[in-house]
Structure 1
Amino acid sequence: MIMEKVLAAAQPYLLGKSVRDLVIGVSLIGCQLDNGDIGVSYVLRDDLPNGCSDFPYAQEVIGKPASEIARWIISGSEDLQRAIAASVLTAASCGQNIPDDDPSGMLFGIRVHPGDTVGMVGMIGHVARQISKSVKELIIFDKGISLHGGDSMIHPMEEQPKLLPACDVVVLSGTTTINNSIDPLLAMCGKAREILMVGPSTPMFPEGWRGSGVTRLAGSWWDKGHKEEIFKSISLACGVSYLKKFMQKKVVDVKKF
């Protein structure tokens, strides 16, 4: 499992830290470690239990060692538990010297060509709009959209094994590390010269991704001076676009870090 390697790479930044605070909203999860660093991850609602569900593990997080909670990215029994782990990992990643994104250059530093076929797993609207102008074909998969009636742009999930192997570039949402789809997806992307992982849930530990096929990580850090505003907004069901004013976008080339 690739997440075993990522978790091992994260250990130096997790050890000795604990979870100071946690908030679970409808769309996002926020975590603060005891050194003040903040991580945010997405809530994947589609596969959560129906009804008045109880998630007792969430009540246990605050005060626990960060390394123990981060382990849930592998051992978690459902998407919400793994998403909590993802928020811990993104907070811990702030201990590294990862460069800021350069918005004036190529999208996340990747070069696409007019003849390229690009695959995207997890609809990321602004990225899709930018890429689609420059390539031959953009193939998008999104489980949530497909489950709820779909969109003419979205391909059925069952077409992934047929279409992803033909892609020159693949963009994966960081949530693929939460729903246990990352390993089979990477196995389908053997042709791709670039595999980019994007979004706040992306675990930004380049060393752990080496040899996986992932070439670039594009995630987010958060202004810990605005922790109360970030957590309050998450508790009131905000999405990531509402938090952009507190976001610091980060991009790293896995091979060069």
Structure 2
Amino acid sequence: MIIDSVVAAAEPLLAGRQVTDAVLGLSLTAMELDGEDIGVSYVLRQNLPAGCSIFGFAQEIIGKPAFEVASLVVKGQDDAQRAVGMAVITAATRGLNLPDEKKTPNPFGLNVRPGDTVGMIGYIPPVAKEIATIADRVIIFDRGLSSHGGEGAAQAYPMELQSELLPECDLMLITGTTLINNTLDQLLDWCKKAREIVLVGASTPMIEEAFQSTGVTALAGSWWDATYKQEMFKRLSLSCGISHLREMMIKKLVPVSA
């Protein structure tokens, strides 16, 4: 699976490093490595187990070797543990020379053409609205909206139509959380027609080598300005979302070679 390639590619970046701080919010989790590099991941709440003290694992991660904690993205027992692992990996990408996302006419540098069908896995309202002004059709799938409703639920297609509709898409935007819930590999298998596939969001591990020959053409993720660390962790502990962290975000867009 692709997530195994991600973990293997991240291992050299995490060698000798340590988790020095952490915060697990209701929407996002963040990990700090060696008192300097911060990584963030979305928390998929829909399938978390019930109970009061079931997330006690987090009491033990500070001070642990970074790669051991990162391995939770594969070995974790639930989506909270897997999010912690992914946040460590996104923090590790600060050790890479990654290009900033440049201002382009379309989101994430997509070459959207009239007549295109664009698929989105994970609803991003402003992006969907902008793309819809050019593309012929925008097909949105969002597991959380489909199962629990919420703003944008009316725009989301039933999840059971993925295998039917995704093969029609010319372009794809796929949330990085599909690595956390182990759905990315199947999604890519349905998207073989797509000429561009961009993995997007804070949960995207921007390690190009892990995605070569997968069909993914770009990785759109974020670094975080550690000078905001105290305020950032406070907001995360109060259940903030990405929109509350915009000024701390350093957007990146990494092309993936075929």
SS of corresponding position for 2:243: helix
- Residues 103-252 of structure 1 mapped to structure 2, 5 A cutoff: 103-149=103-149, 151-252=153-254
* Contact 2:116-2:170 at 8 Å conserved across structures: yes
How far is 1:226 from its partner?
1.1
Aligned length: 256
* Contact 1:17-1:35 at 8 Å conserved across structures: no
In structure 2, give the amino acid aligned to 1:169: L
In the alignment, structure 1 segments of 5+ residues that lack a partner are: none
In structure 2, give the amino acid aligned to 1:103: K
* Contact 1:28-1:238 at 8 Å conserved across structures: yes
CA shift digits 1:143-171 (9 cap, x unpaired): 11111236221100010011111111111
In structure 2, give the amino acid aligned to 1:167: C
CA shift digits 1:151-204 (9 cap, x unpaired): 221100010011111111111011111111111111111111111011000011
Measure, in 1, the Cα distance between the counterparts of 2:51 and 2:103: 43
* Contact 2:21-2:62 at 8 Å conserved across structures: yes
SS of corresponding position for 1:252: strand
In structure 2, give the amino acid aligned to 1:115: G
Measure, in 2, the Cα distance between the counterparts of 1:185 and 1:18: 33
In structure 2, give the amino acid aligned to 1:12: P
In structure 2, give the amino acid aligned to 1:236: L
Alpha-carbon RMSD: 1.3
The answer for the alignment partner of 2:92 in structure 1 is: 92
How far is 1:137 from its partner?
0.5
How far is 1:11 from its partner?
1.7
The answer for the alignment partner of 2:55 in structure 1 is: 55
In structure 2, give the amino acid aligned to 1:161: S
Measure, in 2, the Cα distance between the counterparts of 1:118 and 1:105: 16
How far is 1:105 from its partner?
4.3
In structure 1, give the amino acid aligned to 2:88: V
TM-score, normalised to structure 1, is 0.96
Measure, in 2, the Cα distance between the counterparts of 1:149 and 1:88: 30
In structure 2, give the amino acid aligned to 1:119: G
Measure, in 2, the Cα distance between the counterparts of 1:183 and 1:53: 33
* Contact 1:204-1:217 at 8 Å conserved across structures: yes
SS of corresponding position for 2:251: strand
Measure, in 2, the Cα distance between the counterparts of 1:195 and 1:233: 32
How far is 1:35 from its partner?
4.9
SS of corresponding position for 1:23: strand
Change (3 A) 1:149 1:232: closer
Measure, in 2, the Cα distance between the counterparts of 1:132 and 1:12: 41
Single out whichever of 3-12 and 36-45 deviates more from structure 2.
3-12
How far is 1:125 from its partner?
1.5
Measure, in 1, the Cα distance between the counterparts of 2:104 and 2:121: 25
Measure, in 2, the Cα distance between the counterparts of 1:51 and 1:247: 33
CA shift digits 1:51-110 (9 cap, x unpaired): 435112212211111111111111111111100011101100111110111124442122
SS of corresponding position for 1:81: helix
In structure 1, give the amino acid aligned to 2:128: A
In structure 1, give the amino acid aligned to 2:219: L
TM-score, normalised to structure 2, is 0.96
- Residues 68-87 of structure 1 mapped to structure 2, 5 A cutoff: 68-87=68-87
Measure, in 1, the Cα distance between the counterparts of 2:47 and 2:65: 27
* Contact 2:217-2:255 at 8 Å conserved across structures: yes
